[in-house]
Each structure stands twice: as C-alpha cells, then as structure tokens.
Structure 1
Amino acid sequence: MSKTDGKSVRIVADNLSLGWAEVMLELTRPGITRITPLTLVIRGFDAAGVAAEVPQIRTAVDAFLKAQEKRDTENVAWTIFPQRYWDISGGDREAFFELFIESFERVQEFNPRNNRRGSYFQRLVDLNGNGKGPNQLKWMLDDYEAHPRARRTSKFQATTFDPARDHSSASLLEFPCLQQVSFTFDGSALHLNAFYATQQIARKAYGNYLGLARLGAFMANQMKLRFEQLNVFVGMAQMDVTKSHPDVLELMTVVKQHVDGARTVPVDA
C-alpha cells in the first residue's frame, strides 16, 4: 500500500461532472485505492437549481455503466430523488409524495433485488415503509412554512439509516451507504449536506451527486430559496473497479480530455 493511499482530499468544483471527474482522477493515481475522508463541494447551479454538467462526461459514464452491466446515472439518481415523479406531479408536493409512496411497493415488486430494503428517497418520505411514515421532508417543509423565522439548524436533517434494520453482520450490504442529509441556510441560499459512510465512486457516485443535486433543488424551490451548494462528506471513497480494466481506461480517456483546461485542484485536508 502506498503511503498516500487513504489520504484525505477536499475538492471544490463549479460543475457536477468535473467534481466527480476530479475524484476519479485522484482514485486512478498510482498507489491510490481509497480516499479517507473525501469532502466534495459542488457549486454552479442555475436559477432553477439545475447542476452544470459536461454532457460528454455523463455520456461516457453511462457507456461505462452499460459495459459494466450496472444501472445508469438516471436510475441511480432516481433512488435519491425521483425527478420523473416530481415532473408528473406538476409542482404539487403533496401529490408528489403520495404518488411516490403509493408507487414504491410496485417498484419493489418489479425489482426486489435492488429495492427490497427500500430506497434513499423512500426512507426520506416514508421511513418505516408501507405508508407508515414519517415523511421527514414533508415535516421540514411544513415546519419551515409555519415558522420561517425559527431556528435553521439541527431540525433540518433527515436520516436514511435505521439501526433496527441496517445493523447487520452480512459481508456485503450496499444499502444504505448514505446515512443522512441536512440543510443549512446562508441568507436566501440553501445548502444540502450529504453524509456517506462509504461510496463507490466509479459505479455509483455520479448518479448519487445528480440525485442529491435534484433533491437540493426541490427543497430550495419549496422554501422559495436559491439552491447554491452541495456538500458531500464521505468516510471512505473507494475505487470499485480495477483501474486497468479496459472500461475504466476508456472512461478516463474522455474524463481527462474535458478536465484539462477546466481543472479544479484537489486540496489535501
């Protein structure tokens, strides 16, 4: 193991694609297999809260995931924020929550392998499952509207980890790696903080960041604030595919082409 393996890294990026790319570049350096911890700050959101991306990088990530027979970025993002359901709901958050909760049981039946234990968004809006609640996002939004000048600190957080279900001695348990999210305020701006125990960077992280960005945009929209920043804290960021694999080499060729000239420099914490 290299002496630099497992070092802490902080990255700040004004583009979601480039932020993810910088993490990948760190993990594909010789001797590096993990970052402990990783702090990633993503900015560059437009007035509607949509993250700036490099389309060519996202296309390359999806091509990589298809070659690996893994879920694409949209599918992974859906587990954190189901954008399609929000679009169908036409801006009605009560209808949105109801649609998702009623539909999720069918989603689980359709794909029990990936959804048997729930999804991140399901735990945010129906922690105990089967419509039993609590809906943590609804509580925060309702409370914010009722008490807009009240404290804006510890009450604006939601958990996805449930010790009763998730403390397990199983050798491989991929869900939930995201432990909780919280929201902080800076004047008229909203920041979303996401806390991961571990994160698979090649196969999951791009979709994770996309879903979190959409969640932040939704919450900011409902609070009539501007979504300004996504902060992701990862206890251990892992390179989850062999770095010499042809799929990785092809992906990183595209990544390096687009990072050059628009680079955000990682800073050791």
Structure 2
Amino acid sequence: MYTTPLLLEGTNLSIVWCRAVDHILQNSGADITPLVVTLTKFEESIEVRNMLEQSLRINEKSSINTVAETIFPESLYQLYSYDRHALYEGYLSILPRLKKIDPKNAKGTYFERLIAFNGKINQLEMIINSLQEEQSVRRSKLQASIFDATRDHSDSPYQRFPCLQHVTFNETPSRGLIINSFYAMQYLYERAYGNWLGLINLGKFVARELNLNFERLNCFVGVEHLDISKEKAKKLRMEFNQLSIYE
C-alpha cells in the first residue's frame, strides 16, 4: 500500500486514469491512500476509453457511461432538452425501474441522493437557486451529502454503495465553477473512470444552469484500490502504450 498522498493533475481524464494505474504498478500493494485528482479542460483519449470499455465488457463489468450516469444522467438531460426540472421529474419516475433492472442500484443512485435525499430534499436545486438568487451565499450551503448514516452504516462486510460521500461547489471571482468531491474508497479499474466522467458531467450541468464556466474538478479518494490483478493491469497498460496519448 502506498501511503504517501499522491496528487495527479492534468487536462485529460484518460491520461490521469492511466497515471493512477501506472503508480500502483510501480509500487508495492494495490492501493493509493490517499489519492487527489484535479482536472481541468476535461479532455479524453477516445482510444484509451474504447480499450478500457472493451476490457470492462469482456469482464462483464458496467460500462463507463453506465457508471457515469449514476452520478449524472447526461443522456436523460439531453432527452429532456436540457430542462433541469423535467430531468428531475423524469429521473425519479424511472428510478424504480433502474433499481429493479440492476441490483447494484437497490440502495439508490448518486443522482437520486442529489435530487431526492431521504426521498424529499433536492440538494442540487437548493445549490443552483442559492447561486442564482443570493448575492452573498454562505459557502457551507453549497454542499450535497451522499452518505446517509441512518441507511448506510451497517455490519455488512461488503458494501459497494455509496463510495462517493460528499460534493461541494464553489463559484470563483471569474464566474467559474469548481467541484470538490470525496470518496472514502474507489475501485480504479471498474469505477474510477466512470465516476470522474460523471462528476465532470455534473459540473457541466450546474455550470450550464448558472451560466458559469466549469473550471476544475477536484477529487479526494481515501483509498484508491486496483481491483484487478497487477498482471491483468500490466497487460492492459501494454495495449495503451501502443497509443500516443501522453502530453
């Protein structure tokens, strides 16, 4: 386990994900604790994404987009012509089906917690309204909780939801938006790419609704865990090495 804090900064999600994998491969153990990722510009390498997508599919894991949409359902937002109120209503109407189709959603999704915490609190709308209507908004108001101690603390030895605990938003003097997020633990192979993409899409959504420029995503991960063998990870990286992706 690598226990010295690691900061990965970049403009390309695909490259930052690869650097996290490389770091674990170059050190003992399968964990980075903690990992801090900070992203701007939000570029991607479509070749890396497609290769990872293919690997996930072969191993019967959720697709990158499926993971991302648990945090922010970008496809549904587009379907409702970028009407956020229609998005909220439409998402909650299909949520029972999402839970029934995929057992992983049995306890809910991240977006559900953001717009219907405890079944009633739309945290995203409160944050958007506060930034729209208040000239001087209390910064502590611009946060959304995911973890619910009344539901999520249990004696179960294995619990996959929620890994994302908390999200905060900050408007900069230059009319920019910064998102800060916290994960207690994250699976690097199966979830990290999709999680970071979902947070990026969430940031773009809030920025669009507020006419702001989404400037930066910061993500703090308590334990970043490589959830495949190092042998398999090395093989995957060898495939990536055939691509000219590094800046």
TM-score by length of 1: 0.88
1:259 Cα shift?
Answer: 6.6
Pair 1:170 & 2:160 matched: no
Task: Give the alignment partner of residue 116 of structure 1, picking from 92, 106, 109.
Answer: 106
Q: Is the 8 A contact 1:6 1:33 kept in 2?
A: no
Structure-2 residue corresponding to 1:125: 115
Write the mapping of 1:33-182 to structure 2, written as runs, cut at 5 A.
Answer: 33-44=30-41, 51-111=42-102, 113-128=103-118, 132-147=119-134, 149-151=135-137, 153-182=139-168
1:185 Cα shift?
Answer: 1.9
1:181 Cα shift?
Answer: 0.4
SS in 2 for 1:64: helix
Give deviations 1:189-210, integer Å, cap 9, x for gaps. Answer: 1011110001101111000011
User: Larger relative contact order (C-alpha < 8 A, sep ≥ 6)?
Assistant: 1
Structure-2 residue corresponding to 1:267: none
Once residues 163 and 151 of structure 1 are traced to their aligned partners in structure 2, the CA distance between those partners, rounded to angstroms, is: 27
1:171 Cα shift?
Answer: 0.6
Q: How many pairs are equivalent?
A: 246
1:261 Cα shift?
Answer: 4.2
| Percent sequence identity over aligned pairs | 33
Once residues 77 and 234 of structure 1 are traced to their aligned partners in structure 2, the CA distance between those partners, rounded to angstroms, is: 17
1:260 Cα shift?
Answer: 6.3
Task: Give the alignment partner of residue 20 of structure 1, picking from 14, 17, 20.
Answer: 17
Give deviations 1:38-86, integer Å, cap 9, x for gaps. Answer: 0000111xxxxxx310001100110111121100100000100001110
Pair 1:252 & 2:237 matched: yes
SS in 2 for 1:13: strand
Q: Which runs of 4+ in 1 moved over 2 A?
A: 254-261
Rate the CA distance shift 1:41–1:86 in 2: closer, same or farther, 3 A.
Answer: same
Pair 1:208 & 2:208 matched: no
1:106 Cα shift?
Answer: 1.6
Letter in 2 for 1:7: T
Once residues 63 and 109 of structure 1 are traced to their aligned partners in structure 2, the CA distance between those partners, rounded to angstroms, is: 25
Letter in 1 for 2:7: R
1:144 Cα shift?
Answer: 2.0
Letter in 2 for 1:119: T
TM-score by length of 2: 0.95
Task: Give the alignment partner of residue 229 of structure 2, picking from 235, 239, 242.
Answer: 242
Rate the CA distance shift 1:40–1:154 in 2: closer, same or farther, 3 A.
Answer: same
Give deviations 1:171-200, integer Å, cap 9, x for gaps. Answer: 100110100100112221101111000110
Pair 1:199 & 2:186 matched: yes
Q: Is the 8 A contact 2:98 2:105 kept in 1?
A: yes
Once residues 218 and 261 of structure 1 are traced to their aligned partners in structure 2, the CA distance between those partners, rounded to angstroms, is: 28
